[in-house]
Amino acid sequence: MTMPLPRYEQVKRHIMDGIEGGSYVAGDKLPSENELVRALGVSRMTVNRALRELTEDGHIVRRAGMGSFVADRRMRGHAADILSIRDELAARGELWSANVLALEARPMPKEVAAEFGAKAGEQAYYLLVLHRGDDTPMELEERWVNPGIAPELLAQDFTSRTPTDYLLAVAPLLRAEHVVRAVAADARDAKLLEIERGSPCLEIGRRTWTGERVASYARLLYPGDRYELTARFSPVGAANNT
């Protein structure tokens, strides 16, 4: 015998059916709490819980005084778009391939745990992937992922799909933070990227959020002579057309 869903789960399912069925698309305003109470015959407390959990899971965005809106599953960062290395290489006419060097659950070291607002030693998914363009090493991706955001991550084949593509598909990324700096390649990174130890590299530290939770923290390393970072900026006060 199948037990009926709790009322708040029924409200969540009603809203998600509308989003997944195309009745609501990214940016659309959802019915107000009062409208959902009347339409579904549930309490305001039940609707509030449903909307809160959908917000925490990153499916909707709630704006004070304005209402609830469908989240955009593919976000854009301030300094650069969140793009897959595969797409970047394709734009240059290069064929992407990847070597998965690590894909496992690991306790987070102190500095990584701090990025997640967690305690050192808590478990997260860890992956290390070397991305190649026309068989030349182009990007070393070292990433930690919140297991609650992508519970099936360890079962994925990242030689056929990039981690970025997978995460964009399963987790609505609403916000990102990029820290860009110049670094010298250490012995491990130099060997993997097939460059001399101490060679200049571009390092991007990227933290992303799904809803109100940190989804992943990645260290992306590029040989300095094989990669450039570009960004578009609008004049101060210009309308945002993205």
Closest CA to 13 of 55, 50, 68: 50
In terms of CATH architecture, what is 85-223? 3-Layer(aba) Sandwich (3.40)
Q: Which two tokens stand for residue 81?
A: 């778009």
Looking at the predicted structure, is the pLDDT value of residue 227 above 60? yes
CATH 3.40.1410.10 region(s) of the chain? 85-223
Give the pLDDT band of residue 231 (cuts 50, 70, 90). low
Confirm whether pTM is higher than 0.75. no
End-to-end CA distance of the chain: 49
In terms of CATH architecture, what is 7-70? Orthogonal Bundle (1.10)
Looking at the predicted structure, is the pLDDT value of residue 233 above 60? no
What is the distance between the alpha carbons of residues 222 and 182, in angstroms, rounded to a whole number?
A: 10
CATH 1.10.10.10 region(s) of the chain? 7-70
Give the pLDDT band of residue 88 (cuts 50, 70, 90). confident
Write down the mean pLDDT value for the chain: 85
How many Cβ atoms sit within 10 Å of the Cβ of residue 148? 12
What is the distance between the alpha carbons of residues 240 and 216, in angstroms, rounded to a whole number?
A: 27
User: What digits encode the pLDDT tens for the residues 137-173?
Assistant: 999 999 999 999 899 999 999 999 999 999 988 887 7
Looking at the predicted structure, is the pLDDT value of residue 230 above 80? no
Determine contact, residues 149/213, Cβ cutoff 8 Å.
yes
pLDDT of residue 199: 94
Give the pLDDT band of residue 70 (cuts 50, 70, 90). confident
- DSSP letters for 94-121: --EEEEEEEEEEEEPPHHHHHHHT--TT
Residues in Cβ contact with 197 at an 8 Å cutoff, skipping those fewer than 6 apart: 185, 186, 187, 190
